[in-house]
Amino acid sequence: MKKFRQMLIIVMLIGTFLSQFALTACVGGRSQSHIYDFYQEYRFDLPFAHSRTFMTSSLFFDTEYDMSQLRDLIIEAGYGARLYDFNSIERLHIYAMRDGRRYYFMITRLMDSTRRFSIDSSTGMISAGENSGGIFVFLFPKHLIDAVNLWAVENSHRMHGTFEEIAAFYANTGRGNVTINYEEKTIIYLCREVSNLNWNGGYVIMRWVETETGNYLDISPL
């Protein structure tokens, strides 16, 4: 029964995540060359040659460039970009600045492909619990996750970097929906409610936990 509930939650998460961009980008998926940030405020147009674009929850595209070349081209276009490589999974962290706010995106290469990539808006999510149903959806520094599956729905992630680096990720958004406690190493994030997508409104708390096997960010409803 527990496994069945877990599978049901995963199916619901995938369905609602795929619906997120259908509201503003395309219904059913179609060719396009841009993606919006998590808050749907900043439009990022791919600043390099590409082809075969397709939009679902992420924007998929083909290009002849490798990740290092994409980083350089994005920086030349006026954006911030840094390349990470954990568990042999390259991820290109991108940010744009406007009016004192920072907007995030992340490019990854599809497994077993040299030309096919995807870009998304650094979205994370957790279940709201078996009793309440729904999910909490929030901005998340996926470029620092120590995992092969960067889209896994987990309440605890082994992380690279430091707590200060993760705190800066949120502080630099310039928004009032995040409370950071540097002494206790916690981050409280206010999620917005979207009832037709089963997104719960309310707070989640992220706790930085240091262990002998690595550093973790534990996430739970508050």
DSSP string, 131-197: TT-SEEEEE--GGGB--S-TT---SEEEE-S-HHHHHHHHHTT--SSEEEETTTTEEEEEEPPBGGG
Confidence of residue 3 (pLDDT cuts 50, 70, 90): very low
For residue 9, is it within any domain?
Answer: yes
Phi, psi of 167 (to 5 degrees): -60, -40
In a domain, 217, yes or no: no
Helix (H) or strand (E) holding 73: helix 67-76
How far is Cα 130 from Cα 6, in angstroms, rounded to an integer?
9
- Domain count for the chain, please give it: 1
Report the pLDDT value the prediction gives residue 87, as an integer from 0 to 100: 81
Contacts of 186 (CB under 8 A, 6+ apart): 180, 205, 206, 207, 208
40 within some domain = yes
Is 105 inside any structural domain? yes
Q: Is 15 part of a structural domain of the chain?
A: yes
Question: Is residue 188 domain-resident?
Answer: no
What's this model's pTM, rounded to 2 decimal places?
0.82
User: Beta 214-221 vs 156-159: how paired, if at all?
Assistant: antiparallel
Q: Could you give the maximum distance between any two Cα atoms of the chain, in Å?
A: 53
Tell me, yes or no, whether 131 lies in a domain.
Answer: no
Model confidence at 88, pLDDT cuts 50, 70, 90, reads confident
> Is residue 28 included in any domain, yes or no?
yes
Domain span at residue 24 reads 2-120
Report pLDDT digits (tens) over 124-178.
Answer: 988 877 666 789 999 999 999 987 667 667 789 999 999 999 999 999 999 999 9
